[in-house]
Amino acid sequence: MYENDAQLLAPVRANLYKHQSEAFLFVLNLYGALDGTPPESNGAGLLFEMGCGKTITSIAIAGFMYQMGLVKRLLIVAPLSVLSVWQEEFARFASFPFSLTVLSGPAQRKKQLLRTVTTDRLDIKVINYESAWRLKPELLAYNADMIIGDELHKTKDGQTAQSKGMHELGDKARYKLGLTGTLITGSEIDVWSQFRFMNPDVFGKSFYRFRNRYFWMGGFEQHVPYFRKETGGEFLSLMHSITYRVTKAEALDLPEVTEEIRNVDLEPEAMKLYTQLRNASYAEILNSEVTAANILTRLLRLSQICGGHVTDDDGTTRCVSTAKLDALGDILDSAQAGGQKIVVMARFTAELDAIEDLLTKKRIGYGVIRGGVKNRDEEIRRFQNEPDCMVFVGQIQAAGVGITLTAASTMVFFSLDYSMANHTQAMARIHRVGQRNACTYIYLCARNTVDGKVIQALQNKQDLARALIDDYRAGINPFA
C-alpha cells in the first residue's frame, strides 16, 4: 500500500504527512489488520522526534483498529502534563465515534470512572504513569484491547513498580503501541523494559538473559554494563523489527512552523488565588479609567500567577504553583530522551530562576541570557556548539533580538510578552537562516486563565490591550 491508501484508510480529519502515512501502514501491517493475516507482532513502537506528529498517527491507528472491530477499549498511559493533549487531539482529529475520559482526582473517583464503559463507540481511558501502577488491578479489570504508552522511555528502568505495572498491563492487552523520541537515552540497556511492554518476544521476558547476551559487566564490582559490539547487528535488527523511526530532518514534508498549546491545570489553591485576584482586578477597573496601561498592569499580576508566582504587597515573590514547571519537566525529559536541544523562553525573573533550578536538579547543561548576564556571546556559543549544552533559557526581552539559536528547532514559551514585536522576534531565534529542520513552538497555557487570551491575541496578530478593552466595553470581564 502507498501513501494515498493510508490517507483513505486513516479515520482522521487531516491529511497525514508522508512519514505519518508510512508509520500508520507499518503498524497496521505488524498487527495483521490490513489483510486479516496473523500478526507479525501485537506490539509496535513509533520513535518520533518531538514535533513529528506521533499523536495524530496513533489516533489514526486506534481509529482504524476500532473500525475493523479489533479494538473496543483503549487505554492511554502518559505523563501527567500530556493527558490534556490527548483529550484535545482526539476532539480535533478523530473522525470516528469515541468516548474519552481522563482519569483524574482521588483514587476512588478514578476507579468509578474505570467502571463506566461505553459500548457504542471506542471507549478511551487516559491515565498518568504514576496512577497506572497504583490502579493496576482496576486497569486489568478494565481489560483494554489496546494500550498506548506515551513517552515510553518513562519505563526504561524495568525494576520499578511503574514499569512492572506496564509490563503486566501489556501482557493482557491484544495490541500495544509505544511512543517515544528514542528508546535509548543513557545506554542500550534502556530498551529492554520498553520492549518488554511492546512485545516481550523481541528481547525476552528475562532482563538478566537479555543483559548477559548483549552486555558484559565491568567497572566497580562488575556492576557497569558495557554493550557487546559483536552482537550489535542482531540487537539493532531486533530493535527496528517493530519500531518506526522518524526525525525532523527526515520528515521533509513537515510545515516550516508548527504551534502547539499545551494546557496545564493550576492547583486548587493557586486557582483560588487567581480567581480572587481576577475578580478584584475587574472590580478595580470598573471604578477607574479604562486605559491600555491600566488593564495591562492588572493582567501582569494574573500572568505571574499563571507562571507559578505572586508578588505580595511588600515586594516579596513567592511560589504558588508548579503546574507549568512540572509540564516543562516532561518536555525536557522527552527532549533529552531524543537527544534534542530546545529553547525555553520566559518573561518573569522568578520563572527564570525556577527553570534554572529545574535544569540544575536534572543535571542538564544549559546556556542563559537574561538581565544581568554579561557574556552573551559565550552563552550562545556553548549552546550552538557544545553537545552537553542541551537547553537555552532566554528572558524574552533580553534574548529576543539579534541572536541565533538554530541548534534547536523546538522552542517552549513558559510565559509570554504582550508585545507582538517581542514575541515575533523571540520566535525568530530558531526559525532563521541556518535552520535545517521544521520548527515547533510549544505554549504552556494555564487553563481557564488569561494565558489563553494572550496566546490567541499573539497568534491572531491582535493588539492585546485593544482586544481586552473591547471585551470590557462589551460588558465582558477582560480577565476571564
First to last CA, the chain: 50
Distance CA 170, CA 197 (A): 5
| Mean pLDDT of the 393-406 span | 89
Same fold, 3-246 and 257-264+320-473: yes
pLDDT-based confidence at residue 83 (cuts at 50, 70, 90): very high
Judged by phi (left if over 0) then psi (alpha if -120 to 50, else beta), residue 222 lies in: left
Regarding the domain delimited by 3-246, which CATH topology (the fold level of the hierarchy) does it fall under?
Rossmann fold (3.40.50)
Sign of the Cα torsion 398, 400, 401, 403 reads positive
CA nearest to 335, candidates 442, 436, 238, 261: 442
Burial track 228-251 (b if 16+ CB lie within 10 A, e otherwise): eeeeeeebeebbeebbbbbbbeeb
Q: Are 143 and 73 in contact (CB under 8 A)?
A: yes
**Rg of the chain on CA atoms, in Å:** 24
- The yes-or-no verdict on residue 183 having pLDDT over 80 is no
Amino acid 44: pLDDT: 98
- The yes-or-no verdict on residue 181 having pLDDT over 80 is yes
Sign of the Cα torsion 8, 11, 12, 17 reads negative
Residue 88 CB contacts under 8 Å (≥ 6 apart), including other chains: 263
Query: Where are the chain's structural domains?
Result: 3-246, 257-264+320-473
- The yes-or-no verdict on residue 466 having pLDDT over 60 is yes
Amino acid 303: pLDDT: 95
Q: Are 13 and 297 in contact (CB under 8 A)?
A: no
Give the residue with greater pLDDT, 36 vs 326.
326
Beta-bridged to residue 218, according to DSSP, are: 224
Q: What number of CA atoms fall less than 13 Å from residue 413's CA on the CB side?
A: 34
| Mean pLDDT of the 196-209 span | 97
| Mean pLDDT of the 413-442 span | 91
pLDDT-based confidence at residue 3 (cuts at 50, 70, 90): low
Q: Are 414 and 344 in contact (CB under 8 A)?
A: yes
Burial of 289 (0-12, 13-18, 19+ CB in 10 A): exposed
- The yes-or-no verdict on residue 220 having pLDDT over 80 is no
Distance CA 52, CA 248 (A): 6
Amino acid 454: pLDDT: 93
Beta-bridged to residue 479, according to DSSP, are: none
Q: Are 206 and 212 in contact (CB under 8 A)?
A: no
Amino acid 126: pLDDT: 98
CA nearest to 395, candidates 378, 377, 373: 373
pLDDT-based confidence at residue 219 (cuts at 50, 70, 90): confident
pLDDT above 90 as % of the chain: 73
Q: Which three cell numbers stand for residue 471?
A: 471585551
Per-residue pLDDT tens digits for 448-457 = 999 999 999 9
- The yes-or-no verdict on residue 118 having pLDDT over 90 is yes
Amino acid 179: pLDDT: 96
| Mean pLDDT of the 303-325 span | 92
Residue 109 CB contacts under 8 Å (≥ 6 apart), including other chains: none
Amino acid 2: pLDDT: 53
- The yes-or-no verdict on residue 277 having pLDDT over 70 is yes
Q: Can you give the length of the chain in residues? A: 480
pLDDT above 70 as % of the chain: 99
- The yes-or-no verdict on residue 261 having pLDDT over 80 is yes
Give the residue with greater pLDDT, 445 vs 296.
445
| Mean pLDDT of the 325-354 span | 94
Per-residue pLDDT tens digits for 36-79 = 889 999 999 999 988 899 999 999 999 999 999 999 999 999 99
- The yes-or-no verdict on residue 222 having pLDDT over 80 is no
| Mean pLDDT of the 287-299 span | 84
- The CATH number for 257-264+320-473, chosen from 1.10.150.120, 3.40.50.300, 3.40.50.10780, 3.30.70.60, is 3.40.50.300
Burial track 105-118 (b if 16+ CB lie within 10 A, e otherwise): eeeeebbebbeeee
- The yes-or-no verdict on residue 1 having pLDDT over 70 is no
Burial of 140 (0-12, 13-18, 19+ CB in 10 A): middle
Q: Which three cell numbers stand for residue 173?
A: 492487552
Amino acid 5: pLDDT: 82
Output the average pLDDT for the chain. 92
Q: What single-letter amino acid sits at 258?
A: T
Q: Are 418 and 465 in contact (CB under 8 A)?
A: yes
Q: Other C-beta atoms within 10 Å of 393: how many?
A: 26
Our CA dihedral for 160, 355, 392, 329, rounded to 10 degrees, sits at: 30
| Mean pLDDT of the 428-449 span | 92
